[in-house]
Structure 1
Amino acid sequence: MSCYRATKAIREFLDRSWVRELIGVDPSLSSKYESCNDDVERRFFFNRDETFPSYHYISNLLDRGVKFLIYIGKNDWACNHVAGERWTMDMEWSGAEEFRKQPLRDWVVDGKTAGSTRAYGGLTYVTIAGAGHLAPYDKPVESLHLVNRWLEGADI
C-alpha cells in the first residue's frame, strides 16, 4: 500500500519478466518487486547501517565548489522541511555564516508562490508548497521549474 497511486503501476511494470531481464534481476529470484520491505529495513538497522549523516560530505564538497540543491516537499512528514532547514542552517562550511544571514523568501512559478528558498554560495535550500515525499509527482510543473532554474544558475 502506498500514498501514491502510481506505485501500483510502477510495481506492475517492474514485475514484468522482460523488464526484470532488462535490468538484470537474477532469474532465480521469484519474489515480486517491493518499494519498501520491512525485513530488509530491519537487517540494515540491526547491522547499524540504516542511516548515516551526510552533511559532513556536503560541507566538504561545498568548500570545493560543488553546488547543492536541497529541496523538500512542504507536506513531507518523513523528510520534513523543518529538519531540512535546520541541518542546512547548522552545517559548518566556509559560506555558512552568509547562508544563515539570507532571509527565507518566496519563490514563484507562473505568478504563484511555489514555496520558499534560501541560497548562498553553492547551497540552495527550497521547499515546494503542497508537495509530499515525491515532490516531482505532487508538483511536477513547480519541480521542473525549480530544477531548470537551478541548473541554469538562475535565482529560484
Structure 2
Amino acid sequence: MKPDSIRKFDLFYLGSLAISAAGFIIGYDAVTAQIAGEGAAQGLALGPGWAIGAFVIGIAINLLLWWLTSAKRIAIAKWIIVLFFLLGLFSLPGTFAGGLTMLEVLSLVAVAAQAVAIWFLFRPDAKAWFAGSEPADPQTFD
C-alpha cells in the first residue's frame, strides 16, 4: 500500500500535468506562432504538428517518470523528476518577460503544484517506501 505522501505526490504531479495541458490548449495559437517564428529565424519550417508532437512527447515522458516513481518505486526516476524541475526553474524568469497573462499564471500554478509534489517525495514515509521498508499503516488495526 502506498504511503500518504506518495498518494499526495500522485495528486499534485498529475495535477501539474493537467494544468500544463490546459495551458497548452489555451495558449495553442500563441505557442504555434512562437514556434513558427523561431523556426523561420533558423531556416526551419516548424508547424503546428511539431508543437503538438513536442507537447505529447513531453507529457509521455512525464507520465513515464510518474509511473516509474509512483508504481515501481524506482528512485532514479524521482531524481530525474527533480532534475527536470530544477532545469525548468531556470527558464521560468523568461516566461514572465512579456507580462503576466493567463498562460503565465497557469504555468506558475503548474510549477507550484510540481514543487509540492516533489516535496512529498522527500517526506519520511516516502523515503521509507522507496527504501522498501514500508511503515505500518496506522489504520491497519482500527
TM-score bracket relative to the smaller structure: under 0.3
State the structure with bigger RCO (CA 8 A, min sep 6), 1 or 2: 2
Higher CA-based Rg? 1
TM-score (norm 2): 0.27
| Superposition TM-score, scaled by structure 1 size | 0.25
Q: Which protein is richer in helix relative to its size? A: 2
